[in-house]
Structures are given as C-alpha cells and as structure tokens.
Amino acid sequence: MKTEFIALNSFDLMLASLLVLALIGLGARLKLSVSVMLTIAAVRTTVQLLLVGLILEAVFRNAQLPLLVLIALVMMIVAAWEILARQKRKLRGWWGFGVSAFSLFISSFLITLLALLIVIDAEPWYTPQYAIPLLGMLLGNTMNGIALGIDRLVQTAWQQRAVIEQRLMLGQTDFEAIREISRDSMRAGMIPIINAMATAGIVSLPGMMTGQILAGAPPVEAVKYQILIMFLITAGTGFAVITVLQLITRRMFDARERLRFDRMLRESA
C-alpha cells in the first residue's frame, strides 16, 4: 500500500512550538540559565530552515554546478566557524578556523564527492537533491565530532600542562608526552557517531531513514540509504577528528619540543 505524503501547515508547527515554549518557561522558573539560549536557538532554527527551504526550491529547479559549489563553500565556512564558537578555550586567530575548514574539506567534502560520483551515480553527478542533503548530514555530524575532540584535547592538555612538561623534562618526545591525551580526545570525538551506529534501528530510527519513510519511500530502500549515510558519516567524522587533532597537537609544541599554549590560544583563555 502506497502511503501519501501528508503536508504540514502553520498551525501544526505552532502546536509543536508550544512544547519548546513550555520548556523555556520551565527553564526560566528553575533558573537554569538556558531560556535565552533556547529562545535564540528556536528562532534561528525556524528562520534558517525556512530560508534554506526557499533557497533549495530555487536550486532544485535550476541545478547549476557553480551555484552548488557556492552553497557547499558557505556550508563548510559556517561549520568551521561553529566548531570554534563553542570552545571553552578559543584557538588563536585564523589558524584554528583554517585547520577546522581543512579537516572538513578532506573528510566531508571529498567523501561526499566520492559518494556522488561512484556510489549514488546520479545524472548529473551534482544533482542538488542528492548533493546538498548528503553534504549537510556529513558536515553536521563531522562538525560535532571535531568540536568535541578539540575541546577535550585543549582542555585536558591545559589542565595537565605541568604533567606534560615533566614528561618532556624526563626525556619523552612531544608526541609521547601528549599521546594518551590525544588518543582520549580522538575517542571522545568519535563516540557520538559510534553510539549512533550501535543503536540505529534498535533504540533510534535515524533521521534520513525516518524522513524517507514519512515521505512514502519503501522501508527497505530507506534502510539502504541510511546504512550508506551512516558509513559515510562515520568515515568522515573519523578522518576529520584524527586530522584536526594531529594538527593541533603539533601546534602545541615549538621546534624545540617545548609546550607553547601561547602560540595557539587567545590571551583571554
């Protein structure tokens, strides 16, 4: 039996928004200091998604490669910026943005390109209906992994800087002195996607699969696409986290293997 697509109206969305408003009110009553952030996030979600919906409708009607490249660049720039915006100890200058953008490019962008050219094999290969959602899912998950990994690495290294310096004085190399911290940070960055893979289909139904089923796609076909997406996201997150943490770890030390946080952290940190 074919399931018809059920369109939502503004009233349906307003009913859903009442739940968020109730949460905001409860947070304010309990003085959780999250009401303002929740309000801003809810407004941003609504405005951003409505705008992107209008933009995607225009892009889907007129699929042009230069326009698609521009959208992809904007998505990567915003993702790289958001990675740094949530860090407790900010990386200095444009270097932090550069390593974040570079790791996103060699992971999410190249893996998306590989999937479009070889796996999905759409015609043309840059068909926006495939390219934009795929890149968006990879960037979103990879961004979270990188942000968690960087935060764990910088925070732990800062807290244990005396231990690291003692190891250096005992003759260990910079790589040896920070190896365990770096490994723990890499694991922290990859734990969310590993948990998502381990519980997919048992605890949760992933978003893309759920969306396709709600839109009327056969469940088995939706599952195939979801497996593809999960594998791509896992690879992208893993490669990105490893790359960015290796680059930041090298930046922590100077040419004489001395710990130098002043090279990479803002003075306000």
85 pLDDT more than 50: yes
CA separation for the pair 249, 156 (Å, rounded): 12
- Among 65-69, 131-135, 138-142, 264-268, the range scoring the smallest mean pLDDT is 264-268
3-state secondary structure of 105: helix
Q: Can you give the pLDDT at residue 269?
A: 42
2 pLDDT more than 60: no
Query: pLDDT tens-digit profile of 41-79?
Result: 999 999 988 898 888 888 888 878 888 888 889 999 999
The CA-atom distances, in angstroms, between 86 and each of 36, 143, 144 are 16, 11, 10
Of residues 263 and 172, more confidence is placed in 172
Region 153-162 average pLDDT: 88
Q: Can you give the pLDDT at residue 201?
A: 77
CA separation for the pair 106, 154 (Å, rounded): 22
- What is the CA angle 55-114-51, rounded to 5? 10
- 94 closest CA partner among 105, 80, 104: 80
Q: Can you give the pLDDT at residue 185?
A: 92
CB 98 within 8 A of CB 85: no
3-state secondary structure of 265: strand
CB neighbourhood size of 78 (10 A): 13
Region 236-250 average pLDDT: 90
Of residues 153 and 255, more confidence is placed in 153
The residues spanned by each domain of the chain are 1-62, 64-263
- What is the CA angle 248-250-253, rounded to 5? 110
Secondary element (H or E) of residue 84:
helix 65-85
In the structure, what pLDDT confidence band is assigned to residue 212 with cuts at 50, 70 and 90? confident
Region 88-101 average pLDDT: 80
262 pLDDT more than 80: no
In DSSP notation, 20-55 reads HHHHHHHHHHTT-S-HHHHHHHHHHHHHHHHHHHHH
Q: Can you give the pLDDT at residue 268?
A: 43
Q: Can you give the pLDDT at residue 187?
A: 92
1 pLDDT more than 60: no
Structure tokens at 170: 């005992």
CA separation for the pair 216, 205 (Å, rounded): 16
- Among 47-51, 87-91, 110-114, 163-167, the range scoring the smallest mean pLDDT is 87-91
Place of tokens 């905001």: 24
Secondary element (H or E) of residue 186:
helix 174-199
By the 10 Å C-beta count (0-12 exposed, 13-18 middle, 19+ buried), 250 is classed as exposed
